[in-house]
């Protein structure tokens, strides 16, 4: 039987409830009651906390169910801020967590919940390399239920993992626990408008890149492909409107829905090479991870093309392209990224050439590097980074 007819999949869809629109916030008290929670703690970044109107509406909806607000989230979720969030949850005797903001808020909330539940140092709970293989320890302790009220689109909504940055070593500590996955997301138009348009733009580049990488996966799953393909088309349609219509919530809400699609779809297909490299480069650049990932995406696609020609042709079909060749698809993705305003060279976003060996070392220990259709060795990564620099 040919590979195209040998379709064997295992597709498990975690429970996840989505509320979107003017009345979406009203769902939160019902969600908390459904989970038996009465002491919810908000975890957010200072910039979101400063939006008193949007946060005030959230506080009013939660009422006496709000046990406190931690607004010390920092970009890239450094371990010290995550540990402070964990301590805050413990001090307030939280029985639920509401992440408010973008990817850093979501990741910090999830990581803090994992640390609180397990009661151990993050370095003992993270994925690590053992005997040449990446191993993710089983985290058995119960975790607090979580919801997300986003201000910007991020594929982190629907994920079960959280990666925090160890400032002492510069390492990225990856924590994975399905029990720490959010129970749902509440997409409020007012909250969506609190983020600068540029932040929605950079986050949407991550949605786009993750969808493209997922659609190249060697794990062929038509259900996941449907999610990823629609995420791709949604970004192409709505991202340009964020800049043209900065005061309109509709483009941002559409991108948030695309973030859910891309995040859930890539859960089944895995990550990819551009994602793994962006994790390592992001903290060493002047650009958000989504921008870094988009910059690296065409380079990763060219690396994959010898083994992913059929998958690239499918991407051409999803985008309505006449040229289904690997070169044609990569060229079109480069054109779209140019339309989106993504930078093209690592040196243009502040990445020092002398940092590339360190980036390579960190990337080789990233779980996502093994998920693509073609797994690179160290020399492959070095060549790709030098070409991108």
pLDDT per residue as tens, the chain (389 positions): 344 556 788 888 889 999 999 999 999 999 999 999 999 999 999 999 999 999 999 999 999 999 999 999 998 899 999 999 999 999 999 999 999 999 999 999 999 999 999 999 999 999 887 776 778 889 999 999 999 999 999 999 989 989 898 888 878 888 999 999 999 999 999 999 999 998 999 999 999 999 999 999 888 899 999 999 999 999 999 999 998 999 999 999 999 999 999 999 999 988 789 998 988 887 788 788 889 999 999 999 999 999 999 999 999 999 999 999 999 999 999 999 999 989 999 999 999 899 999 889 888 877 777 778 999 999 999 999 999 99
CA dihedral 219, 220, 226, 230 (to 10 degrees): 60
Q: Do residues 276 and 369 make contact, with C-beta atoms less than 8 angstroms apart?
A: yes
| Bridge partner residues of 68 (DSSP) | 41
Which candidate, 338, 167, 386, 161, places its Cα nearest to that of 239? 338
Would you tell me how many other CB atoms lie within 10 Å of the CB of residue 321? 16
Helices (H), 270-377: 273-281, 289-304, 309-319, 326-340, 356-363
pLDDT at 3: 47
CA–CA gap between residue 96 and residue 98 (Å, rounded) = 7
Q: Do residues 155 and 211 make contact, with C-beta atoms less than 8 angstroms apart?
A: no
User: What is the chain's length?
Assistant: 389
pLDDT at 2: 43
Domains of the chain, by residue range, sit at 17-191, 196-388
Query: In Å, how far from its chain's centre is CA 68?
Result: 26
CA–CA gap between residue 389 and residue 383 (Å, rounded) = 10
User: DSSP string covering 49-76, please?
Assistant: HT-HHHHHHHHHHHGGGEEEEE----TT
Q: Do residues 85 and 42 make contact, with C-beta atoms less than 8 angstroms apart?
A: no
Which residue matches tokens 């051409």?
A: 316
Q: What's 26's DSSP letter?
A: G
CATH code of the region 196-388:
1.20.1090.10
- CA-CA distances (angstroms) from residue 375 to 152, 234, 274, 378, 380? 32, 29, 12, 10, 9
* Strand 66-70, strand 128-130: pairing: unpaired
pLDDT at 252: 97
Tokens for 107?
């990741």
Q: Report the largest interatomic distance among the alpha carbons of the chain, rounded to a whole angstrom.
A: 61
Q: Do residues 76 and 123 make contact, with C-beta atoms less than 8 angstroms apart?
A: no
CATH code of the region 17-191:
3.40.50.1970
Which residue matches tokens 């993050």?
A: 122
b/e map of 254-274 (b: 16 or more CB within 10 Å)?
bbbbbbbbbbbbbbbbbbbbb
């Amino acid at each position: 039987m040919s590979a195209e007819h040998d379709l064997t999949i295992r597709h498990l869809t975690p429970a996840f409830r989505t509320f979107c629109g003017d009345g979406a916030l009203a769902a939160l008290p019902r969600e908390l009651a459904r989970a038996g929670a009465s002491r919810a703690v908000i975890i957010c970044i200072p910039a979101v906390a400063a939006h008193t109107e949007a946060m005030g509406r959230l506080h009013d909806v939660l009422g006496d169910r709000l046990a406190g607000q931690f607004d010390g989230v920092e970009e890239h979720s450094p371990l010290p801020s995550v540990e402070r969030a964990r301590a805050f949850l413990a001090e307030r005797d939280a029985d639920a967590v509401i992440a408010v903001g973008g990817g850093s808020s979501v990741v910090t909330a999830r990581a803090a919940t994992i640390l609180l539940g397990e009661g151990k140092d993050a370095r003992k709970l993270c994925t690590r390399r053992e005997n040449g293989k990446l191993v993710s320890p089983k985290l058995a302790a119960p975790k607090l239920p979580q919801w997300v009220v986003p201000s910007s689109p991020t594929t982190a909504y629907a994920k079960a993992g959280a990666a925090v940055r160890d400032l002492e070593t510069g390492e990225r500590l990856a924590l994975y626990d399905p029990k720490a996955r959010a129970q749902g997301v509440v997409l409020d138009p007012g909250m969506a408008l609190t983020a600068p348009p540029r932040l929605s733009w950079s986050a949407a580049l991550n949605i786009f890149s993750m969808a493209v990488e997922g659609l190249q996966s060697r794990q062929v799953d038509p259900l996941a492909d449907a999610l990823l393909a629609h995420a791709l088309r949604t970004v192409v349609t709505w991202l340009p409107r964020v800049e043209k219509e900065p005061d309109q919530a509709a483009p941002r809400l559409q991108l948030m829905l695309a973030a859910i699609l891309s995040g859930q779809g890539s859960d089944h297909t895995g990550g990819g090479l551009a994602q793994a490299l962006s994790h390592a480069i992001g903290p060493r650049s002047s650009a958000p991870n989504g921008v870094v990932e988009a910059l690296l995406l065409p380079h990763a696609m060219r690396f994959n093309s010898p083994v992913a020609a059929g998958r690239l042709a499918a991407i051409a079909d999803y985008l309505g392209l006449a040229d289904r060749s690997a070169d044609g698809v990569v060229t079109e993705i480069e054109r779209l990224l140019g339309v989106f305003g993504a930078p093209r060279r690592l040196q243009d976003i502040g990445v020092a050439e002398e940092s590339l060996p360190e980036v390579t070392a960190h990337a080789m220990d990233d779980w996502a590097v093994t998920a693509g259709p073609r797994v690179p060795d160290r020399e492959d990564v070095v060549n790709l980074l030098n070409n991108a620099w």
